[in-house]
Amino acid sequence: MAAATGENGLPFMKMHGLGNDFVVIDARAGAIDLSSALALRLADRHRGVGFDQLALIGPGDGEADATLRFFNADGTPSATCGNATRCVARHLMDETGRTQLTLRTDRGLLAAEDAGSGLTRVNLGPPQLDWSEIPLAAPCDTIDLPIPGNPVATGMGNPHCTFFVPDAGAVDVEGIGAKMETHALFPERTNVEFAEVAGPDLLRVRVWERGTGVTLASGSCASAAAVAAIRRGLTGRQVSVVLDGGPLEIDWRDDGVWMTGPTAHVFSGILTADFVAG
């Protein structure tokens, strides 16, 4: 799907991974000046299209088959989005017939592959475990933060704060998540996960995404929660993470954190020129 602007409008796709939904714009055929203001208008579920994150596909660069930029629902940029990366990878694999791709994001070069049975797998890279890489505002033990509830901090290209709770379903995700997103220990704000150890190598996780709010799923949040559980010795290195929208499989290997799950292309459309112009 090639993008075109002007009087013909701007084509887009609506995709989701376990209900974590995205607007995807293909800019490989020509540069698009996608501003934070336009992303914010697009995110409006009443006056725009609505999304948890927006993904902009750019051309490859020799090392990568395509490049990706992401925006949160509040219009702010994001360095990574795991489920959106899987959705774009699936779209490109369907388009080309290939089963393996490399995508460039602000997180770096990410490998993607067809996992069979309609599933797509992406390597989100090694987790960032040092306080300065996540980043935190001050040196501290990232496996036991000095915050009530003793959460774990993890970087997956974006900051994460994981609380382990006895019952994820009983947590006030919206209330606590909104408060924790802007905690002073996280200078770039943070995603927040509430993880319940539901069985051997099984987590039940609910998420609050930085710049978006409560979402049905999040690939980077699922990965961060799994990494936190592994570091605490609560699970092995292969973890099933059940989110509100469904399950993702997380495998922390030597070369990074691999995430596997389903994707869906819901519809394609065209944004009017008037809407794009604002």
| pTM value surpassing 0.85 | yes
Going from N- to C-terminal start, the domains of the chain cover 10-120+263-277, 152-254
Amino acid 278: pLDDT: 86
The tens digit of pLDDT for each residue in 136-188 reads 999 999 999 999 999 999 999 999 999 999 999 999 999 999 999 999 999 99
- Is a pLDDT exceeding 90 seen at residue 29? no
Whole-angstrom CA distances from 58 to 29, 98, 123, 216, 232 are 8, 18, 19, 27, 38
Amino acid 7: pLDDT: 64
- Name the CATH architecture for the domain at 10-120+263-277: Roll (3.10)
For the 152-254 domain, the top CATH level (class) is alpha beta
The tens digit of pLDDT for each residue in 94-115 reads 999 999 999 999 989 999 999 9
Percent of the chain with pLDDT over 70: 97
Farthest-apart Cα atoms in the chain, separation: 57
Q: 247-253: which pairs have CB atoms within 8 A and are 24 or more residues apart?
A: 247/18, 248/18, 248/217, 248/219, 248/222, 250/222, 250/223, 250/226, 252/127, 252/226, 252/227
